[in-house]
Structure 1
Amino acid sequence: MGFIGILIQVTWVAVVLFELTAAAVAFPIALPNCPDRCGDVEIPYPFGLREGCYIDDNFYVNCTTNSFGKTQPVIPENFNITNISLQGQIDMSMYVAHDCYVQGVSKTWNAPWLNSPLNFTVSSNQNKFVVVGCDTYGDLYGYEQNGEYISTGCASECESTKYIVNSSCSGVGCCEVDIPNGLRNISINLNSINNYTKVENFNPCGHAFISKQGTFTFSIDSLRSLREIEEMPMVLDWAIGTETCNDVTNKSSYICGGNSTCIDSDIGSGYRCKCMDGYSGNPYLRHGCQDIDECENEDNCKGPGEQCLNKLGNFTCSCIEGYHLDQSAGVDVLCVINQPSLQVKLFVGVGIGFIVVLFCSSWLYLIVKQRKLIKLKQRFFEQNGGLILQQKLSKQENSTAIAKIFTKGELQKATNNYDETLIIGWGGFGTVYKGILPDNRIVAIKKSKTVDENQIEQFINEVLVLSQINHRNVVKLLGCCLETQVPLLVYEFIPNGTLFEYIHHESKASTISWETRLRIAAETAEALSYLHFAASPPIIHRDVKSSNILLDSTHTAKVSDFGASRLVPLDQTQFATMVQGTLGYLDPEYMQTSQLTEKSDVYSFGVVLVELLTGKKALSFDRPEVERSLAIYFISFLKDNRLFEIVEKHVAEEGKAEQLKEVANLAKRCLRLKGEDRPTMKEVATELEGLRKVEMHSWVNVDSNSEETKFLLGETSDSYKYNASNKSTNVYDSVRDHVIFDLDDGR
């Protein structure tokens, strides 16, 4: 072999022994001479247990002994840490909010909170906000990294435990929502809608908490067992400082060590460090990232005749004796056995044959799969009533102009395969996408969440009726797609947002005058009156609210979102339906009796009128308890003759006092508790139009022309009589298995 060959082999063995020895030494996680453990929890740098062992005060961990004698690390505010991950997470315990009542009186109530530094936020992808109870709503408040105040929450109800489904947090006994990204300085608030008076016999308590995903599974037993639980596991995201990698890399404050790279944090500010490929350890230490022995991985160099050689940051494969490197293969390493050329040709022939068989099999598989997709679309089409709709359209003249049946492919192309950037709205009934049809028409495509298979014929009838509605203040239904699991509805696109935004968003609230607000109210009332009295069959909207009133480029009102609407059969006078709608706008009589009439829309419209007058939200948990329901709060001001104390400032300045009083009194009549005491939408529309005419003809002398004024205003007396046109109505209800309450915050 020779002296040089022996020297090379000895050197190679020495290098391998050195790297194996280095790999056997445990990777350090803390600074030299600093403790790296508190109890059972490892404390890696940049965190530390004493001064000089952490990067700054935000990363100080206090190692304490609890009342049970167990050593436990805590962060400020005395929250227990169970794990610190160098990938940017902290596992910890967070207090549970409890709210228990005895005979309608709160006996146990707490509101947990956590103040965290700027670069410590509640993880949005590893936590859920959970509310458990049968008469409970919970809110999570906090601040984003940019300092903006934000809140989220959900409500949970159940009249009996027999409706509760284990492992389901869909709103019956338990609800859960995602947590906004970059949330810190959090607090949890818990309340009851009815003080548990309706469910006190089996569950007088509610609970709310942030829970690490996978650690909490809801069951009926949770209603009782959660009363004894004080803490639940939660995950915090953390990052270093507030600068990005580009800003900090060349500064002395940059702490990423050797063989590591910098990654911008996804929580809004700061950065994190990560060991480069082929290295492992603590990237925040100067020499924390050390080489990984890839040869310990049995998947590396596992081919015939291959052997693994570890190198710094990577590895190489070489051939053992009896094999040689085949460089013609076009890959890094392919060790082939030394054999005659005939055997090599045979091997290549077998390989080609295998590739041909694989190609043919794949081709056949794609054909079978394509046929299955075609059959699936046809099955959905028939299941969603496509044949019934085609049959009814064929019997109508100019049916293509009334409603079009779109294909699944057409709407996928129009929405770029339902790109999330094209989402323009969402709510309890589905998601709305902006789409562009082949003829360049811009449309709104509503993707519903569920559909009741037992109500397909009524759904088809509803599509036919809504597609024929041609009213300037109602969003036009253009057609539908039935080739998907749930039907898709296609509407005309309204570009200027919702009335909710123009009332409640600071950037838009002052851009519409009182005159415009009054016109929008009159147009909306006219649209609802059309649905109640001119449509055949009549339609009850059932979810009238400011976020369902769209505005076009001229601020013309367009009533939208008929996902909760119901058609009124002409051969019935009364029908009970499961309560569905948005809290703050729901008719109290409808909630109490489940009897849906057109007067339920009148009540909801009354709340919208109050929004236009006051600029306040219909329901806000940010206001004191007596002010949360805008309708009740507004009525109390009218009783005390304090109308102009609640009217929005610029509305009071622009509108005439008498006109504002008339609108307020009209809203008051719409908000009467008994439906039979409320005016019809036709009467409301007439009165609003009369008020607009008086405003436009300011030369009219109200005192001297009282008869003409009454004609313009319509009947303004409080004594509306119940007549045949103001009767209870019949509806069919395609949602029978659950009760839906929206907490409206804009669309």
Structure 2
Amino acid sequence: MVVRMVFQSILLLFSIYAFVQAAGFSISSCQPSCGDVNLKYPFGIGAGCYADAWFEVVCRNDSLASPSPKPFLRILNLEVLDISLDGTVRVNFPTVYNCTNGTSSTANIVELRNSPFIFSQSENKFIALGCNNFASMRSVDGSGSAIGGCMSICDTTKVVNASSCNIGINCCQASIPSDLDAFNTTMEVMNSKDLVINGCNSAFLVEEKWFKTDYRTLSLFVPVVLEWWIPYTSFISLPIANYNTSSTYNCRQVVVKQRNTTFTCSCKAGYGGNPYVPGACHVIKECELTHPCLGYNPSPLIFCENTYNEEEERIYTYNGSYICYRPIFLTIESRVEVFTIGISSGLGLLVLLVGGWWSYKVVKKRRMIKQKNKFFKRNGGLLLRQQLSSHEANVENIKLFNSKELEKATDRFNVNRVLGQGGQGTVYKGMLIDGRIVAVKKSKVIDEGKLGEFINEVVILSQINHRNVVKLIGCCLETEVPLLVYEYVPNGTLFQYFNGQTEEFPLTWDMRLRIATEVAGALFYLHSAASTPIYHRDIKSTNILLDDKFRAKVADFGTSRSIAVDQTHLTTRVHGTFGYLDPEYFQSSQFTEKSDVYSFGVVLAELLTGEKAISSTKTQEPRSLATYFIQSVEENSLFDIIDSRVLKEGKKEEIIAVANLAKRCLNLNGKKRPTMREVTIELQAVQMLQKGANLQQNYEELEYVGAEVYELWDAAPTSIVSTASIDAQPLL
């Protein structure tokens, strides 16, 4: 047997040698290193020393400051810091700086598209440094959409370090998407004074492990990790392409998004070396080095082999790179005895397995019941039951679902059922047993200290009864995270109808005016419906849904809060969406009903212009739509930014009236903004003007009708439960 194995090994080595000689493949004459970096095939310098043109390395003096030569990837012109045969390469990557008081956009100077390289998602992070620095990575496919980013909050008393990035003070970090091969960097200073005081801001991609330890050595270039594969056209020309017959290494096909077929190789277990060079995977001789098998059994009949073989009648202990075994010599009598023992043991084992399986099912069922009860209590189920049984809380219409109902309704929360994702959780489309289509919101993990707030929010939502507010049907508390069940609104969000995203059904001027009036009426209802008004705190076009008749439905009350009658504001951590956030609230952390008015003003501007809250289509640099809109009104260039469909269908006086209303809502001084009651009345007046009625007469009539509605709502039951005023982390 041993002789046969030796003969086969000699034959295999001879075949590999003959193949290598025929192909003219040799790396013995290749330069082994450049500077302090060891070059490993498939990377190399000079013809025949690299597997593909993308892996060609040039060795040159980069500058007079560093006279020693450095290796560079020739095509990408990136300095190589380290090459690993596990499929990664570390390179020096440029950082981006912004030393102005405005917005800075920098195109990515390194193009990885069409190459066998991508930025490693697991090894790299996107970092932004500086005071109030809003940095983002943007797509280079022409849309300019954000694919990642973060915002750092300014605190001149804090020192920038790796830990401060975790909390976003003077530094922040964000993960990057998978298969990333190109991006542009955009930075914007949220307060122009900060940049003057604190110097330049910066943003860059960097190796996470390096940044945690060596952030003090930041310069114009930082280490970044790239993942690499061998392209198919180059792989088939390598001697190792005949990998199916190899006993020392494996090669496998890798499917990378938006790339052609690629391959990667590795030495088999028990072998080490370079799998891309024929014969370079060598045996790791653990047996000769440490005698590892001596500890398994004191018997002298324990043997050790460095590689695994298939010889019969041996008991093996396999430990990765070596095997411990002892021979067995069985007689006929001992074989019968072993057979009898085996049958008996098998029957006993079968009984044991059946009993164990039954016991496992019973224990698992009890554990699931216990776990559901634990989740129910942790998510505030007892408190909700108390609210449901209270005569003061009129929430009898809300239903407590069990986890099985919602798992079945959403096909176990299948990713194909996802309707959208936000800062508060993920929304799935589902169908209940009775056939109703619903939207199931799977919340993010809730801090146990805020369970009272969550339950109060559920109670608040259950009491809202307005045709332009998404209705809460019920909730489930016996899962790890709470689940909320809403009515299903089929026609998506208002945001999807801007910029021609939904061309088959564009919004007319009449529809836009009606949607604005309906949203304003819903906010008027929330602010004035009871003795404990409700602040929405996240009004934006993505939180305005459209039903089958394109009627507006205000949604996402995950950050909403109710307040006492004698309160005029909430003091909270800053929370909201960039572009819709009230500047006064951002500076003072005091949220008032006028903060909702500001956010609604941005939505009005979107309806008039068809632009996004942060838009760059009509300017060279991205800017706030609110700022751009007010500037256009003040410079008498309003009709230059109005959506073409609005200009075509709307009357000039109607457009001016709505634009002036939007400008008042966007006033930087909250006290000078109108209330939602006044906003609703003015929008209704514009609608009536559209029908030919006299604007002043209708305004007076609406004032009278609005006063009656206001008095009626003031008399409503005061059963809404107020929540705590401290909110979660901001979503900026």
TM-score (norm 1): 0.78
Kindly tell me: are residues 709 and 347 of structure 1, through their superposed partners in 2, closer, same or farther at Cα, counting changes over 3 Å?
A: closer
Q: Which residue of 1 aligns with 2:419?
A: 424
Kindly tell me: are residues 399 and 666 of structure 1, through their superposed partners in 2, closer, same or farther at Cα, counting changes over 3 Å?
A: closer
User: Equivalents in 2 of 1:558, 1:134: separation in Å?
Assistant: 38
1:736 pairs, out of 696, 705, 726, with 726
Q: Which residue of 1 aligns with 2:77?
A: 78
Per-residue Cα deviation, 1:415-466 (whole angstroms, up to 9, x for no partner): 3333333222222222222222222322222222243434433432321221
Q: Which residue of 2 aligns with 1:175?
A: 172
Q: Which residue of 1 aligns with 2:461?
A: 466
1:118 pairs, out of 110, 114, 131, with 114
Q: Which residue of 2 aligns with 1:719?
A: none
Q: Secondary structure at the match of 1:316?
A: coil
User: Equivalents in 2 of 1:627, 1:12: separation in Å?
Assistant: 70
Kindly tell me: are residues 574 and 198 of structure 1, through their superposed partners in 2, closer, same or farther at Cα, counting changes over 3 Å?
A: farther
User: Equivalents in 2 of 1:52, 1:589: separation in Å?
Assistant: 65
2:659 pairs, out of 656, 664, 671, with 664
Q: Is it true that 1:265 corresponds to 2:255 in the alignment?
A: yes
Q: Which residue of 2 aligns with 1:231?
A: 221
Q: For 1:484-495, what aligned pairs fall within 5 Å after superposition?
A: 484-495=479-490
Give the CA deviation at 1:230. 3.5
Deviates more, 1:529-538 or 1:203-212: 203-212
Q: Secondary structure at the match of 2:312?
A: strand
User: Equivalents in 1 of 2:580, 2:597: separation in Å?
Assistant: 10
Q: Which residue of 1 aligns with 2:187?
A: 190
Q: Is it true that 1:708 corresponds to 2:707 in the alignment?
A: no
Deviates more, 1:381-390 or 1:561-570: 381-390
Residue pair 2:613, 2:626 contacting (<8 A) in 1 also: yes
Residue pair 2:254, 2:264 contacting (<8 A) in 1 also: no
Deviates more, 1:48-57 or 1:495-504: 48-57
Q: Is it true that 1:646 corresponds to 2:636 in the alignment?
A: no
Q: Secondary structure at the match of 2:565?
A: coil
Per-residue Cα deviation, 1:513-559 (whole angstroms, up to 9, x for no partner): 12211111111111111111225632110110111111123221111
Q: Which residue of 2 aligns with 1:721?
A: none
Q: Is it true that 1:156 corresponds to 2:155 in the alignment?
A: no
Amino acid at match of 1:230: L
Amino acid at match of 2:81: T
Q: Which residue of 1 aligns with 2:321?
A: none
Q: Which residue of 2 aligns with 1:330?
A: none
Q: Secondary structure at the match of 1:217?
A: helix
Give the CA deviation at 1:190. 3.3
Give the CA deviation at 1:277. 9.6
Q: For 1:681-720, what aligned pairs fall within 5 Å after superposition?
A: 681-695=676-690, 697-698=691-692, 700=693, 705=694, 707-708=696-697, 710-711=699-700
Deviates more, 1:151-160 or 1:558-567: 151-160
Amino acid at match of 1:577: T
Q: Is it true that 1:139 corresponds to 2:136 in the alignment?
A: yes
Q: Secondary structure at the match of 1:210?
A: strand
Q: Secondary structure at the match of 1:114?
A: coil
Q: Is it true that 1:628 corresponds to 2:612 in the alignment?
A: no
Give the CA deviation at 1:740. 0.7
Kindly tell me: are residues 485 and 264 of structure 1, through their superposed partners in 2, closer, same or farther at Cα, counting changes over 3 Å?
A: closer
Per-residue Cα deviation, 1:92-130 (whole angstroms, up to 9, x for no partner): 1212334568xx899x99886323352243234443322
Kindly tell me: are residues 434 and 110 of structure 1, through their superposed partners in 2, closer, same or farther at Cα, counting changes over 3 Å?
A: closer
Kindly tell me: are residues 291 and 46 of structure 1, through their superposed partners in 2, closer, same or farther at Cα, counting changes over 3 Å?
A: closer
User: Equivalents in 2 of 1:14, 1:504: separation in Å?
Assistant: 73
Kindly tell me: are residues 653 and 737 of structure 1, through their superposed partners in 2, closer, same or farther at Cα, counting changes over 3 Å?
A: closer
Q: Which residue of 1 aligns with 2:371?
A: 376
Q: Secondary structure at the match of 1:518?
A: helix
Kindly tell me: are residues 291 and 676 of structure 1, through their superposed partners in 2, closer, same or farther at Cα, counting changes over 3 Å?
A: closer
Per-residue Cα deviation, 1:290-347 (whole angstroms, up to 9, x for no partner): 8887998999xx9999999999xx9533236x99xxxxxxxxx997744533355346
User: Equivalents in 1 of 2:479, 2:654: separation in Å?
Assistant: 51
2:431 pairs, out of 415, 420, 436, with 436
Q: Is it true that 1:38 corresponds to 2:37 in the alignment?
A: no
2:58 pairs, out of 42, 46, 62, with 62
Number of aligned residue pairs: give it.
Answer: 683
User: Equivalents in 2 of 1:413, 1:430: separation in Å?
Assistant: 19
Deviates more, 1:525-534 or 1:403-412: 403-412
Kindly tell me: are residues 359 and 97 of structure 1, through their superposed partners in 2, closer, same or farther at Cα, counting changes over 3 Å?
A: farther
Deviates more, 1:667-676 or 1:388-397: 388-397
Give the CA deviation at 1:15. 3.1
User: Equivalents in 2 of 1:659, 1:436: separation in Å?
Assistant: 42
Q: For 1:520-559, what aligned pairs fall within 5 Å after superposition?
A: 520-535=515-530, 537-559=532-554
User: Equivalents in 2 of 1:165, 1:566: separation in Å?
Assistant: 34
Q: Secondary structure at the match of 2:591?
A: coil
Give the CA deviation at 1:610. 0.5
Q: Which residue of 1 aligns with 2:248?
A: none
Give the CA deviation at 1:62. 1.4
Amino acid at match of 2:226: L
Kindly tell me: are residues 16 and 284 of structure 1, through their superposed partners in 2, closer, same or farther at Cα, counting changes over 3 Å?
A: closer
User: Equivalents in 2 of 1:334, 1:620: separation in Å?
Assistant: 76
Q: Is it true that 1:93 corresponds to 2:92 in the alignment?
A: yes
Amino acid at match of 2:463: Q
Give the CA deviation at 1:665. 0.5
User: Equivalents in 2 of 1:507, 1:289: separation in Å?
Assistant: 59
Per-residue Cα deviation, 1:495-529 (whole angstroms, up to 9, x for no partner): 22111111135444971112211111111111111
Per-residue Cα deviation, 1:612-670 (whole angstroms, up to 9, x for no partner): 11122212478768861211111111111111011122221221111110110110111
Per-residue Cα deviation, 1:73-101 (whole angstroms, up to 9, x for no partner): 21245321234456654321212334568
Q: Secondary structure at the match of 2:183?
A: strand
Q: Which residue of 1 aligns with 2:707?
A: none
Residue pair 2:102, 2:188 contacting (<8 A) in 1 also: no
User: Equivalents in 2 of 1:315, 1:449: separation in Å?
Assistant: 51
Q: Is it true that 1:49 corresponds to 2:45 in the alignment?
A: yes
Q: Which residue of 2 aligns with 1:15?
A: 8
Q: Secondary structure at the match of 2:557?
A: coil
User: Equivalents in 1 of 2:239, 2:633: separation in Å?
Assistant: 64
Give the CA deviation at 1:206. 4.0
Kindly tell me: are residues 737 and 440 of structure 1, through their superposed partners in 2, closer, same or farther at Cα, counting changes over 3 Å?
A: closer
User: Equivalents in 1 of 2:161, 2:306: separation in Å?
Assistant: 58
Give the CA deviation at 1:561. 0.5
TM-score (norm 2): 0.79
Residue pair 1:89, 1:238 contacting (<8 A) in 2 also: yes
Q: Which residue of 1 aligns with 2:163?
A: 166
Q: Which residue of 2 aligns with 1:326?
A: none
Q: For 1:97-108, what aligned pairs fall within 5 Å after superposition?
A: 97-99=96-98
Q: Secondary structure at the match of 1:62?
A: strand
Amino acid at match of 2:243: N
Residue pair 1:605, 1:670 contacting (<8 A) in 2 also: yes
Residue pair 1:503, 1:509 contacting (<8 A) in 2 also: no
Give the CA deviation at 1:150. 4.4
Residue pair 2:531, 2:564 contacting (<8 A) in 1 also: no
Query: Alignment RMSD, CA only?
Result: 4.7
User: Equivalents in 1 of 2:499, 2:85: separation in Å?
Assistant: 43
Per-residue Cα deviation, 1:226-280 (whole angstroms, up to 9, x for no partner): 6x43333223344566xxx7xx79x999998222667353131212124599699
Q: Secondary structure at the match of 1:490?
A: strand
Residue pair 2:424, 2:443 contacting (<8 A) in 1 also: yes
Q: Is it true that 1:129 corresponds to 2:118 in the alignment?
A: no
Amino acid at match of 1:190: M
Structure 2 unaligned segments of length 5 or more: list them: 245-250, 317-325, 705-712, 715-719
Residue pair 1:257, 1:284 contacting (<8 A) in 2 also: no
Kindly tell me: are residues 646 and 168 of structure 1, through their superposed partners in 2, closer, same or farther at Cα, counting changes over 3 Å?
A: closer
Amino acid at match of 2:697: E
Q: Which residue of 2 aligns with 1:388?
A: 383
Give the CA deviation at 1:414. 2.5
